[in-house]
Chain A
Amino acid sequence: MRFTGQNMLQAPVEQVWDALLDPAVLVRTIPGCERLEETGENSYAMTVTAGVAAIKGTYSGACSLSDLRPHQSLVMKLDGAGAPGTIGATVNVSFSAASDGGTSVSYDADAVVGGMVGGVGQRMLSSVSKRMAGEFFSNVERAILSPPSAAAAVEVESEPGMPKVYVDPAAVPGRVSSQSDFVKGIAVGAGLVLAGVVAGALFGRRR
């Protein structure tokens, strides 16, 4: 599945470039990214919770940045696997300084979505991917414009020689329940007050 897009960031191209190469920023800007582990130069192992509405899954995978042409372009390779399926993507990202001092980032992604979500989730996939990409870049923009203090990504203390690990405190705490214990409990006929504390969108149309 191919999809392309363009986003305007209100920050100079140098800053955008640096942000994308900074794991502490990536962990906060990749939608749903909870944990990023440096496995080499510009390559990371990560845990991402992604999806829309109920179709969410936790994916563990890898992300690497290559073909770096500073302030011009890079290639982002992503692949991950989770309960709903597998995702592999090669994203060509190019940067250009915009007249207003901002940066225009355009991407051309070639993604392979496998597993159940690939076979039955087709109807939503491209719009969802587009949306997540947009989210990513606006996060990057926000990260640059308002260097957060409280929600700053934490570089977890790690033994010397051990890979550096970054976590996003803002991300959903704890790992999302694995398939094995999904729907641990069920409340039947809950009262309104109880229902009121329940999360998530309602479902009610059809398949």
Chain B
Amino acid sequence: METLAGNAGKGAGAKVLAGGQSLVPLLSMRLAAPDVIVDVNRVPGLDTIEVTPPWPGAGVRFGALVRHSDLLAHEEAAAAQPLLRLALSHVAHPTIRNRGTTVGSIVHADAAAEMPMVLSLLGGSVEVASVRGTRTIPADELYAGPLESTLASDELALSAFVPALAPGSGVAFEEIARRHGDYALVGVAAHITPDATRLGYLSVSDTPTVVDVTGSDDPAGAALAVLEPVDDIHATADYRAHLVRVLTERVLARAEEMTHA
């Protein structure tokens, strides 16, 4: 206790370890050098999945220690918000999903990751705690930049919440990666409700990006107007833009189908 309290002042010198599937490799590569690591894996009460109110209901809340694989396998969660399962099945490989946590991924704020984009597209939120108490950060205020969330340096994410799929709505997810399980070159999700059509994108901007294309006759074009695909060693910006068009069409068609289901 004393040591930890003493570490409070260290600010960026300390890191929280939950799943560790991103932090530990950074340590091994010596890219991260925190003075202190706080392993919260045995903190009680962070490993629950609640579908509230009783399913079929308003949404899914999952704790900071819920592993991707637990959420992926959760039938009620999948029924309440199908996009969770559609996206989670694309997160790395099963072995990584067994350890990695979904909340951890969400606040890791990697614009190439599936779950931050899903939270943004669905308009979810994250509940965080600090010595000052707890607060709720809506998804559209959560991402500040590449790998940067708006959590204060002394805040810990407790859980994340995503709304359930409303009646007459549909969702779909598609991504293209070089190898099965790799970071996507481009990923797109669609969320169609009776009164709005929104698209979420990953790997084509610095932060998870959501575009409202309600009534647009060129949804992909509208999206590309705000997206910033870049060249890297795996794909050019032009190819990524092309994939944005291809995948946007695909997810819109499938989400549309679901609305009729």
Q: How far is the CA of A117 from the CA of B26 in the complex (A)?
A: 10
Q: Which residues of B contact A121 (CB under 8 A)?
A: 31
Contact A54 B15 (CB under 8 A): yes
Contact A187 B43 (CB under 8 A): no
B157 beta carbon closer than 8 Å to chain A: yes
Range of interface residues on A (Cβ < 8 Å): 35 or more
B183 beta carbon closer than 8 Å to chain A: yes
Known: A116-B30, A122-B233, A184-B36. A202 touches B110 (CB 8 A): no
Q: Looking across the interface, which residue of chain B has its beta carbon closest to that of A82?
A: B33
Contact B112 A190 (CB under 8 A): no
Q: Which residues of B contact A186 (CB under 8 A)?
A: 36-39
A183 beta carbon closer than 8 Å to chain B: yes
Q: How far is the CA of A123 from the CA of B111 in the complex (A)?
A: 10
Contact B21 A198 (CB under 8 A): no
Q: How far is the CA of A61 from the CA of B34 in the complex (A)?
A: 22
Q: Looking across the interface, which residue of chain A has its beta carbon closest to that of B152?
A: A199
Q: How far is the CA of A179 from the CA of B34 in the complex (A)?
A: 9
Minimum Cβ distance to chain A for residue B188 (Å): 19
Residue among A177, A179, A185 with the highest chain B CB neighbour number at 10 A: A185
A176 beta carbon closer than 8 Å to chain B: yes
Q: Which residues of B contact A200 (CB under 8 A)?
A: 12, 14-16, 34, 153
* 0/1 interface trace, chain B 14-46, chain A, CB 8 Å (1 if under): 111111111101110111111111111111000
Q: How far is the CA of A181 from the CA of B189 in the complex (A)?
A: 44
* 0/1 interface trace, chain B 147-166, chain A, CB 8 Å (1 if under): 11101011111000000000
Return the contact of B38 from the options A131, A179, A190 (Cβ within 8 A).
A190
Contact B147 A53 (CB under 8 A): yes
Contact B4 A194 (CB under 8 A): yes
Q: How far is the CA of A100 from the CA of B20 in the complex (A)?
A: 49
Minimum Cβ distance to chain A for residue B112 (Å): 7
Minimum Cβ distance to chain A for residue B42 (Å): 3
Contact B154 A55 (CB under 8 A): no
Q: How far is the CA of A100 from the CA of B254 in the complex (A)?
A: 49
* 0/1 interface trace, chain A 188-207, chain B, CB 8 Å (1 if under): 11111111111111111111
Return the contact of B39 from the options A56, A179, A189, A197 (Cβ within 8 A).
A189
Q: Looking across the interface, which residue of chain A has its beta carbon closest to that of B26?
A: A54
Q: How far is the CA of A194 from the CA of B129 in the complex (A)?
A: 11
Contact B12 A206 (CB under 8 A): no
Q: Which residues of A contact B206 (CB under 8 A)?
A: 127, 131
Contact A202 B103 (CB under 8 A): yes
Contact A52 B147 (CB under 8 A): yes
A83 beta carbon closer than 8 Å to chain B: yes
Q: Which residues of B contact A150 (CB under 8 A)?
A: none
Known: A84-B30, A179-B30, A206-B22. A197 touches B8 (CB 8 A): yes
Known: A120-B29, A182-B33, A189-B39. A204 touches B107 (CB 8 A): yes
Q: Which residues of B contact A23 (CB under 8 A)?
A: none
A162 beta carbon closer than 8 Å to chain B: no
Contact B146 A52 (CB under 8 A): yes
Contact A124 B147 (CB under 8 A): yes
Q: Which residues of B contact A188 (CB under 8 A)?
A: 39, 42
Residue among A121, A192, A202 with the highest chain B CB neighbour number at 10 A: A202
Contact A194 B38 (CB under 8 A): yes
Known: A123-B112, A185-B3, A199-B11. A204 touches B30 (CB 8 A): no
11 A-B residue pairs with Cβ-Cβ distance under 8 Å, sorted by A, are A52-B148, A117-B31, A122-B233, A128-B147, A197-B8, A200-B16, A202-B64, A204-B19, A204-B105, A205-B19, A207-B96
